[in-house]
Amino acid sequence: MTPNSANSSAACGFWAAGTSILALGAGLLGAGPPLLAWGLAGAAAVAVAGLAMRRRAVLWVACGLSAAAGFGLLMDVVALLFAQGVDDWAAAVLHALGLLGAVLLAGAARPRRTGPVVAPAPTAASRRVHLAAYGGAFAFVPYAVMKVTWALGGTFAGTGGEEMLAAYERNGASGLWLTLARWGLDGTALLAALGVFLLFGLVRPWGQVFPRWTLVLRGRRVPRWLPLGPALIGVGTLVPYGLFGVGYLTLASAGVVSVRAGDFHSSADAVLVGWIGFSAFAGYGLALLAATRSYWLRTRGVTAGP
């Protein structure tokens, strides 16, 4: 076992031990969603088995289970930034542990190489991944138009900007969110813009070496975790969230299930807004998945020497 392999296994072992205790405690005490707590405890148990047997296949199973438990972390971060806090702190901690475990387990499950490892030369993603990135960026356009229309006081889906601002206040939006809205800026539209920036950083060489416009950082290597951290959080949340939402709205549009009007004047308005939102999340999430995989593979260290 190489030193790096031993370090990865040790990190996974500490994660599995701590996570199993916290997840089991949450499950027994009823803190957070029960399925999340017991599922994460199961992922930790599978991780321990994989480490004990030194089977990468078992570690990849644990990685998938842990990644599933990380679903919702992005929503927790957004709520923490723009609302009064997260809805459930226990669930937020479990989400974070799930995503952390997925990263650690993926690192431990990778085949080990001997010899010094050097960073590869910066490269762009393939044409196919570039097209996916453009598609993911364009998926946000209708969503951004809708949100900016409300922020500027306009009407969309039968709901005016003042009504939407009142709904934000009623639903407990933070002072930062309300201030941005009164200035004609929407918090989620700003996050969407940052998401598009991240997406293209993952597919272009400047996502691997800081470009000239970063001034003092120019020419330096971008740490892999810097784009991969938020990318993995986004993938773990937006892909299942977006696809589930699109599936649910498909059933709603077919009359199989009903959708509450909520803050809108009718269920039809809510469905329209839902289609715009969930289509954006699903489209961007899948593009981010492709870009993240490409970046992960393109930036892997290569073994130096003959």
Cβ contact 67:237 at 8 Å: no
Give the C-alpha separation, 74 to 31, whole Å.
20
- Does the structure show a pLDDT above 90 at 54? no
What's the pLDDT band for 303 if we cut at 50, 70, 90?
Answer: low
If you average pLDDT over every residue of the chain, what do you get? 86
- Identify the pLDDT of residue 232: 87
What's the pLDDT band for 247 if we cut at 50, 70, 90?
Answer: very high
- Does the structure show a pLDDT above 70 at 116? no
Model confidence pLDDT, tens digit, residues 127-171? 999 999 999 999 999 999 999 899 888 999 899 988 988 888 887
Over residues 44-49, mean pLDDT: 91
Model confidence pLDDT, tens digit, residues 254-295? 889 888 888 898 999 999 999 999 999 999 999 999 999 999
Bridge partners of residue 83, in order along the sequence: 173
- C-alpha closest to that of 297 among 224, 236, 199, 211: 224
- Identify the pLDDT of residue 75: 79
> What are residue 303's phi and psi, to 5 degrees?
-80, 125
Model confidence, pTM: 0.82
All residues at 6 or more sequence positions from 24 whose CB lies less than 8 Å from its CB, including other chains: 37, 41
Percent of the chain topping pLDDT 70:
92
- Identify the pLDDT of residue 185: 78
